[in-house]
Amino acid sequence: MTSLVPAARSSLMTPTNMRDAMMFADRLADSALVPKDYQGKPGNVLVALQWGQEIGLGPMQALQAIAIINGRAALWGDTLLALARNHPGFVSIDEGVRGEGDERHGYCTVERRGQNPTHNEFSVADAKKAGLWGKQGPWQNYPDRMMKMRARGFSLRDAFPDAIRGLYIAEEAQDIPAEPRAVPNLADAAPQPSHPVVAREGSMREFGAEVAGRQVERPLSPAEDDEALPLVSLDGILRELRRGRTTGAPAPVVWQAAALREVARAESTTALRVFREVNGPHFASIAGQHPDIVAAVEAAIEARVFAPIDEPEPEVAE
C-alpha cells in the first residue's frame, strides 16, 4: 500500500502563510528540478501547492504528482490510486485489460467499505468513438494502459470523490481539447479606457472619461442574480460570492467589486500575476456568462502590471 506524507507535517519546505507560499513558489519556478509545467510559472506552482495541501500531498509530492493540463489541475494515474489506497474506506481494487477487437477494454472495480463495488470499463470502441484510437502519442504506443487508466480514473473518482476532490486523471485530461480563450489586446487600448462594470440595479454600465454612466448591453437575469461566483483572494482564501445581503447587489456586482479591491491592494506585480493565475480557471468560467465583467478585472490587472508597482525592497539583516 502506497503511503502519502500528510500535508499537515511541518518541514522546511512547507509554507505556513500566503506570503511564504508566494516566495516559495517564486523560488521553485526558477528551478530546473521542477517539471516544465512549473518552470517560470509561480502561479502554477502555487495552485499545485494548494491542491496538494487539500488532498494530502506534501509540497514536493504535489509538484511531481499534479500536472497543469489545458488550464486544469490533474493527477497522474498512479497518484490517484495512491490517494484511494490511503483512504480509510479503501478495501480493494481489481483492474486490467481483456477481450479482443473492438470489445477489448480496460476495466477497474473498486470496493469502498460500506458501499457496493464501483465498476467501469473503457473499450476500443469507446476510444474510437472519442477519436482517441490510434492518436499519436500514448494512445498509439500504449493503448492497453490508456484504456486501463481511463477505467481507473472513472472508478476512483466515482468511489472516492472526497479523497480526489474532483481532480481529473492526467491521462484523461491530456485528451480534452483546449478551450480557446479570447484575450483583449491591451496594447491598442486608449490611455484612459472605459471599463464595463455592473450597476447595483443589475444593468451593465461603462465608466470612463467619455462614457460615464452610458447604459450598455443587457440586464442581468434573475438566475444570474442568485449564482455564487468563486474568487481566491491575495491571502489564498477561496470565497463564494453571492448577492449582497445589505445592498441587494447581484452576485456579479459583488464579485467584480471584490476582484477589483484585490487588484488595488496588491503590493507587487508578482502578487498580481499569482492572483491572476490562481484565479485563471474562475475567470474563464465566469467569462462564459459575464465576459465584460472579467474583461474589466483583466484590464485593471494589466493596467497595474504595465504601470509597475514599487516592489518592496528585501529586508537586510543588520
For residue 74, the model assigns a pLDDT of 80
- Convert 83-107 to b/e letters by CB count within 10 Å (16 or more is b): bbbbbeebeebebebeeeeeebbbb
With 0.75 as the threshold, say if the pTM is over it. no
Asked if the model's pLDDT at residue 137 lies above 60, the reply is yes
Please say whether the beta carbons of 138 and 154 come within 8 A.
no
Examine residue 245 and state whether it is found in any structural domain, yes or no.
Answer: yes
On whether both 203 and 288 belong to a single domain, the answer is yes
Which structural domain range is residue 293 located in? Answer: 190-306
Q: Which of 25-39, 144-158, 198-212, 217-231 has the lowest mean pLDDT?
A: 198-212
Q: Would 142 be classed as within a structural domain?
A: yes
- Residue 199 confidence class, pLDDT cut points 50, 70, 90: very low
Averaged pLDDT for residues 138-142: 90
Q: Are residues 126 and 219 in the same domain?
A: no
pLDDT value of position 148 = 94
Residues 105 and 155 in one domain: yes
In a domain, 59, yes or no: no
pLDDT, one tens digit per residue, over 37-52 is 788 888 888 888 888 8
Per-residue HEC secondary structure of 177-225 comes to CCCCCCCCCHHHCCCCCCEEEECCCCEEEEECCCCCCEEEEEECCHHHH
The answer to whether the beta carbons of residues 96 and 122 sit under 8 Å apart is no
In sequence order, what are the residues at sequence separation of 6 or more whose Cβ sits closer than 8 angstroms to the Cβ of residue 180?
none
Strands 66-69 vs 72-75: parallel, antiparallel or unpaired = antiparallel
Q: Which pLDDT band, with edges at 50, 70 and 90, does 317 fall under?
A: low
Residue 100 pLDDT level (bands cut at 50, 70, 90): very high
> Which helix or strand (DSSP H or E) is residue 150 part of?
helix 143-159
132 shares its domain with 165: yes
11 assigned to some structural domain: no
For residues 198 and 236, membership in a common domain is answered with yes
Rounded to the nearest 5 degrees, what angle is found at the Cα of 160, between the Cα atoms of 119 and 235?
150
Higher per-residue pLDDT: 169 or 256: 256
Residue 31 domain-assigned? Answer: no
Q: How many CB atoms lie within 10 A of CB 130?
A: 13
Give the Cα separation of 285 and 229 in Å (integer). Answer: 9
The three cell numbers locating residue 86? 490511503
Given a contact cutoff of 8 angstroms between Cβ atoms, the answer to whether 311 and 305 are in contact is no
- Of the two residues 171 and 222, the one the predictor is more confident about is 171
Specify whether the CB–CB gap between 243 and 254 falls below 8 A. yes
pLDDT digits (tens, 9 = 90+) for 55-65: 888 888 888 88
- Residue 7 has a CB neighbour count (10 Å cut-off) of 17
Q: What is the pLDDT of residue 76?
A: 81
Q: What is the DSSP letter of 91?
A: E
Looking at the fold, whether 169 and 210 belong to one and the same domain comes out as: no
pLDDT of residue 14: 64
Q: How many independent structural domains does the chain possess? A: 2
Last residue of a domain, one of 139, 173, 207: 173
Both 145 and 222 in a single domain? no
pLDDT at 214: 35
Could you tell me if residue 29 is inside a domain?
Answer: no
In this prediction, residue 108 has a pLDDT band, given cuts at 50, 70 and 90, of very high
